């Protein structure tokens, strides 16, 4: 299921990028996930969460992202919910862009 969201978002992004004029405002989002606990029988990581935090900070200060979303050691349900929310934001932006283009 997670793979489907990523693929659909990527396809939508490519389609949207082809129709955007250079004069239109580009909106960027970031969803960063850090999980130090990889599950049973896996070594606990030390820096996954802090790396994700740093990535969000860099994207907000240098990457043109208004407000990044950070998930730390999320349950799969929270990750899927965050992906759905990001997908909805993207689709709403795409709809507004296409509507403005006529």
Q: Note the pLDDT of residue 99.
A: 85
Query: Regarding predicted confidence, which is higher, 80 or 16?
Result: 80
Q: What's CA 32's distance to the chain center, in Å?
A: 7
pLDDT single digits (tens) 18-35: 555 555 677 888 999 999
pLDDT single digits (tens) 39-88: 889 999 999 999 999 999 999 999 888 888 999 999 999 999 999 999 99
pLDDT at 27: 80
Q: What is the pTM of this model?
A: 0.68
Q: Where are the beta strands (DSSP E) in the chain?
A: 31-34, 69-72
| The two structure tokens encoding residue 18 | 């082809």
User: Rounded distance, CA 44 to CA 49, Å?
Assistant: 11
């Amino acid at each position: 299921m997670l793979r489907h969201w990523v693929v659909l978002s990527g396809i939508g992004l490519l389609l949207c990028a082809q129709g955007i004029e250079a004069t239109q405002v580009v909106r960027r989002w970031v969803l960063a996930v850090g999980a130090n606990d990889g599950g049973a029988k896996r070594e606990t990581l030390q820096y996954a969460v802090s790396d994700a935090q740093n990535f969000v900070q860099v994207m907000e200060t240098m990457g043109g992202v208004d407000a990044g979303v950070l998930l730390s050691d999320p349950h799969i349900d929270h990750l899927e919910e965050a992906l759905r929310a990001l997908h909805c934001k993207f689709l709403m932006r795409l709809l507004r862009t296409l509507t403005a283009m006529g």
